């Protein structure tokens, strides 16, 4: 089946690290993605990881992938108040002969000053 799950809420203090977790079900997903959504806006692609990788780092962002457990995480180092937003993980699946994204429910990150 197609299901992506995330915790709903995370609160951290400014300067600390944030870790947002995600589990997915489709083991054939080629790519997994992290998106950020600010209030009233569309989704911004933050980063992605290919399924044969374990880790990807991009400036303050680190993505870890445990393919055996189908677990994906996003670590934000030195979290800033501007990082407050909803973060969605997504897996890429094939359905009706085309690639589609299945999104998690989103994790609301609140960064306290």
Contacting residue, 23, 25, 48, 56, with another protein by CB under 8 A? 48
Query: Considering only residues 70-89, where is the footprint of another protein by CB under 8 A?
Result: 88
The nearer residue to another protein, 24 or 35, going by C-beta atoms, is 35
Picking from 58, 60, 10, 56, the residue whose alpha carbon sits closest to that of residue 32 is: 56
Tokens of 1: 């089946």
The nearer residue to another protein, 27 or 30, going by C-beta atoms, is 30
Question: What residues contact 53, with CB distance under 8 A and at least 6 apart?
Answer: 65
Closest separation in Å from C-beta 73 to another protein: 18
17 binds another protein (CB under 8 A): no
Residue pair 32/56 in contact (Cβ under 8 Å)? The answer is no
The nearer residue to another protein, 37 or 62, going by C-beta atoms, is 37
Tokens of 50: 């290919």
Q: How many CB atoms lie within 10 A of CB 107?
A: 20
Contacting residue, 20, 43, 72, 76, with another protein by CB under 8 A? 43
Query: How many angstroms separate the most distant Cα atoms in the chain?
Result: 47
- Contacting residues toward another protein, per CB under 8 A: 30-31, 33, 35, 40-45, 48, 88, 92, 96, 98-101, 103-106
């Amino acid at each position: 089946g197609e299901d992506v799950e995330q915790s709903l809420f995370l609160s951290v203090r400014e300067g600390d690290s944030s870790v947002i977790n995600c589990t997915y079900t489709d083991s054939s997903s080629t790519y997994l993605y992290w998106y950020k959504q600010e209030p009233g806006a569309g989704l911004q692609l933050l980063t992605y990881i290919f399924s044969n990788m374990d880790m990807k780092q991009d400036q303050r962002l680190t993505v870890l992938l445990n393919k055996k457990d189908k677990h994906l995480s996003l670590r934000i180092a030195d979290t800033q108040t501007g990082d407050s937003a909803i973060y969605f993980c997504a897996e890429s699946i094939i359905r009706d002969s085309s690639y589609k994204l299945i999104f998690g429910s989103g994790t609301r990150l609140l960064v306290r000053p």
